[in-house]
């Protein structure tokens, strides 16, 4: 039996990880530490709360004392570190919080792990592991013909978010090298799936369509991302937690590069098809384009580009595939359809998270209209 501390477990990837892990390893102890920012939602963990070996603790990763106490009291030998400020646009309008949470927060966790696992009763923690969940954005931006990022691609983070994640990766590496803290790092591409906060591209487009709003495409829509279903990310994390080499870095991706425009068009077609097949959707979502006799694509709107917008990410996950047998299992079409269905069937969830603080942020960002200005 393993005993895991999962930071950020009430967020998008964290809650999917918890569901995945309980299903696959029901005997393991799982303690979630999450401060419940706008992105953390206890409702994401409702199903897990029923499970006898699950515990939720509301708290901050920057609270070293709390983390030390949790590690000792719960005899936690694995940390899966997901807690972070994660949205690039927010890092552009307010970088300070990203520096504090992502860098100082990670450092605080590393200090706690070192103190308890390496300086305390070592016999109580015979096989500790600190796994740090990071992003492909630390590697910077690729040109159209460039080879995909490997684990030895030099770091060239461009946004404050990416820079804060890069700094946290370096700290994790340094704690391994200097103090011998047993760590692993994964750098993953863009995730999608259920429970993603509707500020990120895919859920934003889904809820905007259902609410009769436009689909804001930054710049020319030709920026490329490699999209991975969150369940496949969890599968990759599981492989690393079980057999990943200590001190190693693993890229996780799915060789599924899409331009933003193609992706949003695919989403539009899937939505049109679903409304055509299920007539009750028209009554439930009267504002959606198909309910008004329009195609979803008519809602596309090119808006002003994001500052410093990275052009292309592509990730080479050969190491994870070769060493640990990773392969993504959910095709993009199937993953997008199931994600779309999840949002269609969970309207109360997304309406609840798009609360006052979300609207305030959108207004702060874009003025009274609450949406980005039309682009050139």
* Interface positions with ligand TYD (CB under 6 A): 88, 190, 200-201, 204, 216-218, 223, 225, 260, 306
* Catalytic residue, candidates 60, 136, 151, 232: 136
Q: Is 62 in the site for ligand NAD (CB under 6 A)?
A: yes
Q: Which is nearer to ligand TYD, 2 or 211 (CB)?
A: 211
243 catalytic? Reply is no
Neighbour tally for 20: CB within 10 Å: 18
Closer to ligand NAD at the Cβ: 188 or 263?
A: 188
Handedness of CA 215, 218, 223, 228 (dihedral sign): negative
Q: How far apart are CA 181 and CA 127, in angstroms?
A: 11
Q: Are 160 and 98 in contact (CB under 8 A)?
A: yes
Instruction: For residue 190, state whether it binds ligand NAD (rule: CB under 6 A).
Output: yes
Active site residue 137: yes
223 binds, options ligand TYD, ligand NAD, none, Cβ within 5 to 8 A by partner type = ligand TYD
Query: In which residue are the tokens 């969830």 written?
Result: 349
Residues in region 69-88 near ligand NAD by CB under 6 A: 82-84, 86
* C-beta closer to ligand TYD: residue 188 or 234: 188
Piece of 8-16, 209-217, 265-273, 277-285 that binds ligand NAD (CB under 6 A): 8-16
Asked if 36 is part of the footprint of ligand NAD (rule: CB under 6 A), the reply reads yes
**CA separation (Å) from 281 to 110, 273, 301, 353?**
48, 11, 24, 22
Residue closer to ligand TYD, measured from CB, 21 or 361: 361
Scored b (16 or more CB within 10 A) or e, 84-102 reads bbbbbbbbbeebeebbebb
| Part in contact with ligand NAD (CB under 6 A); list of ranges 28-36, 142-150, 210-218, 258-266 | 28-36
Instruction: Please identify, using beta-carbon distances, which residue of 4 and 185 lies nearer to ligand TYD.
Output: 185
Here the tokens at position 143 are 């040109």
195 given a catalytic annotation = no
Could you say whether residue 105 binds ligand NAD (CB under 6 A)? yes
| Ordered DSSP codes for 152-210 | TSPP---SHHHHHHHHHHHHHHHHHHHH---EEEEEE-EEESTT--TTSHHHHHHHHHH
Give the 3-state secondary structure of residue 215: strand
Q: Which does 14 bind (CB under 5 to 8 A by kind): ligand NAD, ligand TYD, none?
A: ligand NAD
- CA distances 220 to 56, 72, 99, 217, 303, Å, are 43, 52, 30, 7, 9
d(CA 37, CA 357): 10
Q: Which option in ligand TYD, ligand NAD, none does residue 336 bind, with CB closer than 5 to 8 A by kind?
A: none
12 binds ligand NAD (CB under 6 A): yes
* Least distance (Å) between residue 62 CB and ligand NAD: 6
User: Can you tell me whether residue 340 is helix, strand or coil?
Assistant: helix
Q: How far is the CB of 38 from ligand NAD (least distance, A)?
A: 8
Tell whether residue 275 is a contact of ligand NAD (CB under 6 A): no
Residue 195 phi/psi, 5-degree rounding, is: 70, 20
Q: Is 79 helix (H, G, I), strand (E, B) or coil?
A: strand
Q: Which residues are catalytic?
A: 136-137, 161
The residues of the shown chain that bind ligand NAD, judged by CB under 6 A, are: 7-8, 10-14, 33-37, 39-40, 60-62, 82-84, 86, 101, 105, 133, 135, 165, 188, 190-191, 197
């Amino acid at each position: 039996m393993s005993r895991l501390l999962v930071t950020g477990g009430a967020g998008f990837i964290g809650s999917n990880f918890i569901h995945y892990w309980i299903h696959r390893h029901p005997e393991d102890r799982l303690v979630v530490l999450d401060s419940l920012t706008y992105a953390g939602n206890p409702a994401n963990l409702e199903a897990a709360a029923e499970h006898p070996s699950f515990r939720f603790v509301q708290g901050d990763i920057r609270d070293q004392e709390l983390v030390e106490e949790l590690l000792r009291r719960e005899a936690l030998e694995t940390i899966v570190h997901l807690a972070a400020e994660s949205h690039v646009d927010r890092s552009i309008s307010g970088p300070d919080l990203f520096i504090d949470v992502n860098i100082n927060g990670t450092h605080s966790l590393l200090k706690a792990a070192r103190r308890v696992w390496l300086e305390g009763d070592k016999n109580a923690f015979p096989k500790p592991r600190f796994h740090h969940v990071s992003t492909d954005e630390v590697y910077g931006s690729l040109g159209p013909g460039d080879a995909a990022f490997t684990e030895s691609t030099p770091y060239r983070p461009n946004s404050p978010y990416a820079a804060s994640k890069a700094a946290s990766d370096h700290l994790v590496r340094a704690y391994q090298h200097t103090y011998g803290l047993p760590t692993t790092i994964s750098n993953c591409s863009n995730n999608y799936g259920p429970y993603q906060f509707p500020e990120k591209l895919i859920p934003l487009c889904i809820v905007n369509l259902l609410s009769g709003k436009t689909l804001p495409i930054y710049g020319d829509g030709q920026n490329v991302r490699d999209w991975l279903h969150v369940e496949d990310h969890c599968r990759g994390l599981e492989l690393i937690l079980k057999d990943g080499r200590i001190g190693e870095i693993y890229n996780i991706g799915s060789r599924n590069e899409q331009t933003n425009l193609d992706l949003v068009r695919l989403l539009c077609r899937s939505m049109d098809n679903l409304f055509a097949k299920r007539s009750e959707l028209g009554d439930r979502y009267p504002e959606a384009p198909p309910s008004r006799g329009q195609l979803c694509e008519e809602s596309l709107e090119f808006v002003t580009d994001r500052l410093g917008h990275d052009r292309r990410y592509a990730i080479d996950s050969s190491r994870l595939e070769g060493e640990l047998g990773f392969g993504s299992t959910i095709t993009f079409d199937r993953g997008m359809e199931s994600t779309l269905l999840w949002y269609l069937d969970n309207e109360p969830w997304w309406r609840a998270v798009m609360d006052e603080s979300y609207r305030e942020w959108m207004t702060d960002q874009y003025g009274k209209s609450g949406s980005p200005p039309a682009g050139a």
